[in-house]
Structure 1
Amino acid sequence: MQPLILLLAIATSLATAHSEVLPRAATTITIDTSKTYQTIDGFGFSEAFQRANLIVNLPAAKQASILDLLFNTTTGAGFSVLRTGVGSSPDSSSDHMNSILPKNPGGPDKVTIGGSAYTWDGKDSGQLFVAKKAQSYGVGTFYANAWSAPGYMKTNNNENNGGYLCGVSGETCSSGDWKKAYADYLISYMKFYAQEGINFTHVGFLNEPQNANPLTTPSASYAGMLSSGTQAADFIKVLYAELKSANMSNIAIACCDAEGWNDAKSMTSQIKSAGAESMLGIVTSHTYTSNFNGPISTTAKVWQTEYSDLNGGWTTACELPFCFHPTTSFRLCTRYSSGGSGDGQTWASAVHNGLVNNNLSGYLYWVATQGGGTNEKLIQTSATDYTVSKRLWALAQFSRFIRPDATRIGVSGASSGLSTSAFLNSATAPVYAGALVVPALNTGSAAQSVTLSLKGFNGSAVTAWVTSQTQAMEALSGATLGADGTVSGTVPGRSFVTFLVSK
């Protein structure tokens, strides 16, 4: 059989099979605006370790296109949070994040806010460029996160391979106590950005302190710093006071970007015991070594600030004979629902779990762009082009429509295989103001007809958007708003649909 005939035969067979998977009887899902949960701060990513330069160095047309993919609230993901890496390296070799104070100024008492010893190159490894572009799209949440203090502030005199911040509980250095100096260092970094028109809303001072021990983690040869929750509390108290003194108390302190969810629970408990919880703006965690297993006990908001499929191979062959979107240039050769750890469906399930069962207020993927052959990124880049994964579109089903300051509201009645959540946007949101957003993920093979019964919300119109193996957040026909205010629609098998009900 000739190749073209074979492809047509396969496509016809698949279409026939799909048509035989008929929708089930309609399931009524109740959306109750009187039941409210956490406030959503947003969704985003980082471009730390010089990933931002991949965007900076793209040809102009491709650069504009990739920025649209990331931040446009009409055609892209509409991400609303950007996490920048605060550098601690004395150089910019390899993918190092360069420090604004690369040399020891002569002791902790020589470090002040905005002192003359600082070095600011106006680029920050491309991160300032991306931040300014993000701001032009309306992004207003910027998280400055340091992986480590500069080496001379640490017990091992090295930004890499562990070491503690000099002066925290149980850790002393002959050079003195560097807690206040480190706080002033972070504040100075944020002030450089403020001079460029970017105002940080959150600041963190650790990244995966559990992964920074070279004795237990030989791969910890990049910037990182050890800390317990108690030691973190020591620094939080100093940073809180320094922010207040600098009239920057509006910037929320984040801690501790723990390697796993259980680590975050443990560190938060220690911070509470040390009397520093009230000084925290957000608890931050990753889920590499332990996954979500119930909300963290804290009065602070909670964000998942990093996770990705670090080792899975980037998919280069389609499961279906449709390698290009029919009306755009986006390649669709990255899988959505094969069950792998890098699939879009897998990530949609992870975000749903985080938001609904673990009360997350923010969800950040690791990096947006990167080269190489793993699923570590959302978009695979080369010197001149890029390929988009279905992970980006799975996240976009949440991030485009659920805007900062939205409130998660009550949902009941979803059938087996259908993960449904609901969010009410603020009436003052710049886009999709006052809208009701209902993401519905169908992990089964059969289509599911749904009726959304809206309690306490009167909609004026409804639209629906779908991501699947062959679709990348496309408009989905068939969603209707009844005279009684109910919404009716269908969620195809192995697809992710977001219903947007306008106020």
Structure 2
Amino acid sequence: MKKFNSAATGILFSALGFIPAQASTPVVFTVDTSRTHQEIDCFGASDAWSMRFIGEMPQQTQEDVARLLFSREVDSNGNPEGIGLSIWRFNIGAGSVEQNDSSHINPHTRTECFLTPDGTYDWSRQAGQRSFLHLAKKYKVPRILGFLNSPPVYFTKNGLATNTGRDGTYNLKEDKYNDFAVFIANVVTGLASHEGINLDYISPVNEPDGHWNWQGPKQEGTPATKYEIARLARILDKEFQSRGIHTRIIIPESSDYRCMMSVHQTGPDRGYEIQSFFSSDSTETYVGNLKSLPRLIAGHSYWTNTPVEYMKECRKALRDTLKKYNVDFWQSEVCIMANDEEIGGGHGYDRTMKTALYVARMIHHDLVFANARSWQWWRAAGGNYKDGLLYQYKSPENSSDTIVDSRLLWTLGNYSRFIRPGAIRLEVNREGTTDSDGATDPDGLMCSAYRNTDGGYVAVIINYSDEDIMTDIRGLGYGIWNLYRTSDEPEERLRLTGTTQNLESIMIPRRSVTTLTSGGIKAE
């Protein structure tokens, strides 16, 4: 467990457990490098809401957290120091902090707003979050995205950043669409001029199709119909184009894959999003011709990760719909929810492989069956709920906050640290089966493979089972391969466990995730 707090930094180690290899017939995976799938854009997480506070802790604590999230360096033993996130999500606040208790939002999920009531901008706000923007820049995180859960409170119909007391329409005054677009553009240019931070993407709405309509005190948020989203996207694109802003617009951060393909628990005005936004026949909502908006849709995988059979079928249906309309896809937010009963639901933080493996299976299915170009976790740090890569809490022996890592963090690193922007996913098949999904046994081994832009290969193997399993990987040539493992063994946090000159008879321990990486290698 890596552990540190706002007063001091320390790393706790214990001995590595030895897992004996048991003789068995290897499971053989064959990688077909001539059959390629999607390009990978990035892996990431967001600063909501903890970085507002962590970003104002002592600098050493901030550096420790940033190293775990962003670093691509290795220690003296060759072990990664961090998970090398390649996109960082910055929450652009709506002003619930300034409203205090009248905001109707819990204190720890409120946000500041750069815009003030008199129409001027206060660039000293969101200081903790801005600190992590600079740390992301220091570590050369290649992409930064700004996302908004609500328009500024000065523009909303109810004067709040939450939708309390309203229906399922956008909480934005009819005469404030242009002002909201100007605000977003000003934040983009303001961060560039005042902070030297360039936002590569803007996500102006978040889970607009959620059937709960964002009512209640939990956090900032608003529903919106697809007509309102299209209207905003067009106005925002016009503002960006007129000002020469090259930031790309990402929509709609759907709350559920089913809303992207059809209708789910709401009306048709908040469904069929892929078709509505990217089919030119959908004249009222078509945004596929906007210069600032890529032919890409973002959605969240909440509520679709169980049961396992449905997880796969849902993603295959999503993939088919995306292909029909020639649209790329980002899985842009997820954490553990109440329906994830296999691991006990979302309440109660879990630093073990129990949650980490469950999430690894989600990542695998999103990449392999939905062809996701990006995979992004919800919060970089959180409290006693399964929504943070890091766990932040007050320990009995220390009045200041303590922050510890988790196997979830390092398991995401099995992907994010090694599969870099521009990588291409490769076809993988399992010997002895004609099933095109043979590389995926959701209760056993799951294997995916990638080729980075430098020519190096990456294979990620999940062993969900309670048995050690021997495997051979064919089709990737020969050379020196590094093996990095995350498991519940004390020191196996993306640990370099060894090297091999071939990919035969590799033992994948029970309840673990192993990444194999090559440099430039010779072809077979």
TM bin (shorter chain): 0.7 to 0.9
Q: Distance in 1 between matches of 2:151 and 2:327?
A: 24
Question: Which residue does the alignment assign to 1:47?
Answer: 47
Aligned-residue CA RMSD (Å): 2.9
Q: How does 1:195-234 map to 2 (within 5 A)?
A: 195=193, 196-211=195-210, 218-219=215-216, 222-234=219-231
Q: How does 1:153-172 map to 2 (within 5 A)?
A: 153-161=155-163
Question: Which residue does the alignment assign to 1:420?
Answer: 447
Among residues 457, 480, 484, which one is paired with 2:500 in the alignment?
480
5+ long unaligned stretches in structure 2: 1-16, 74-80, 101-106, 262-271, 306-310, 338-344, 394-399, 431-438
Q: Distance in 2 between matches of 1:154 and 1:179?
A: 10
Partner of 2:232, secondary structure, is helix
Q: How far apart are residue 45 of structure 1 and its match?
A: 0.7
Question: Which residue does the alignment assign to 1:499?
Answer: 516
Q: Which amino acid aligns with 1:154?
A: T
From the superposition, tell whether residues 136 and 172 of structure 1 become closer, same or farther in structure 2 (CA, over 3 Å): closer
Q: Distance in 1 between matches of 2:409 and 2:67?
A: 12
Q: Distance in 1 between matches of 2:121 and 2:241?
A: 24
Q: How far apart are residue 59 of structure 1 and its match?
A: 3.5
1:283–1:301 CA contact under 8 A, matched in 2: yes
1:62–1:385 CA contact under 8 A, matched in 2: no
Question: Which residue does the alignment assign to 1:194?
Answer: 192
From the superposition, tell whether residues 225 and 71 of structure 1 become closer, same or farther in structure 2 (CA, over 3 Å): same
Q: How does 1:1-400 map to 2 (within 5 A)?
A: 19=20, 22-49=22-49, 51-74=50-73, 75-89=81-95, 91-92=97-98, 93=100, 94-95=107-108, 96-103=110-117, 117-161=119-163, 177-195=175-193, 196-211=195-210, 218-219=215-216, 222-248=219-245, 250-265=246-261, 266-272=272-278, 273=282, 274-279=285-290, 280-281=293-294, 282-291=296-305, 293-294=314-315, 295=319, 296-297=321-322, 298-309=325-336, 312-315=346-349, 334-337=351-354, 343-371=355-383, 373-382=384-393, 383-400=400-417
Q: Which amino acid aligns with 1:203?
A: I
Among residues 452, 462, 467, which one is paired with 1:441 in the alignment?
462
Partner of 2:250, secondary structure, is strand
Question: Which residue does the alignment assign to 2:76?
Answer: none
Q: How far apart are residue 358 of structure 1 and its match?
A: 0.6
Kindly provide the CA deviation profile for residues 340-367 of structure 1, in whole angstroms up to 9, marking residues without a partner as x.
xxx1110111111111111111111111
Identity over aligned pairs, percent: 23
Deviates more, 1:289-298 or 1:299-308: 289-298
From the superposition, tell whether residues 58 and 152 of structure 1 become closer, same or farther in structure 2 (CA, over 3 Å): closer
Q: Which amino acid aligns with 1:240?
A: D
1:305–1:362 CA contact under 8 A, matched in 2: yes
Q: How far apart are residue 218 of structure 1 and its match?
A: 4.5
Q: How far apart are residue 269 of structure 1 and its match?
A: 2.2
Q: Distance in 1 between matches of 2:160 and 2:440?
A: 54
- Output the TM-score relative to the length of structure 2: 0.76
Q: Distance in 1 between matches of 2:159 and 2:62?
A: 39
Deviates more, 1:376-385 or 1:288-297: 288-297
Q: Distance in 1 between matches of 2:96 and 2:408?
A: 35
From the superposition, tell whether residues 23 and 394 of structure 1 become closer, same or farther in structure 2 (CA, over 3 Å): farther
Question: Which residue does the alignment assign to 1:111?
Answer: none
From the superposition, tell whether residues 474 and 90 of structure 1 become closer, same or farther in structure 2 (CA, over 3 Å): closer
Question: Which residue does the alignment assign to 1:468?
Answer: 487
Q: Which amino acid aligns with 2:488?
A: Q
Q: Distance in 2 between matches of 1:421 and 1:121?
A: 44
Q: How far apart are residue 403 of structure 1 and its match?
A: 0.7
Partner of 2:180, secondary structure, is helix
1:466–1:497 CA contact under 8 A, matched in 2: yes
2:112–2:125 CA contact under 8 A, matched in 1: no
Q: How does 1:400-419 map to 2 (within 5 A)?
A: 400-413=417-430, 414=439, 416=441, 417-419=444-446
Alignment length (residue pairs): 434
1:257–1:264 CA contact under 8 A, matched in 2: no
Q: How far apart are residue 62 of structure 1 and its match?
A: 3.1
Q: Distance in 2 between matches of 1:344 and 1:459?
A: 30
From the superposition, tell whether residues 259 and 121 of structure 1 become closer, same or farther in structure 2 (CA, over 3 Å): same
Q: Distance in 2 between matches of 1:229 and 1:299?
A: 19
From the superposition, tell whether residues 185 and 415 of structure 1 become closer, same or farther in structure 2 (CA, over 3 Å): closer
Q: How far apart are residue 125 of structure 1 and its match?
A: 4.2
Q: Distance in 1 between matches of 2:440 and 2:256?
A: 31
Q: How far apart are residue 91 of structure 1 and its match?
A: 3.5
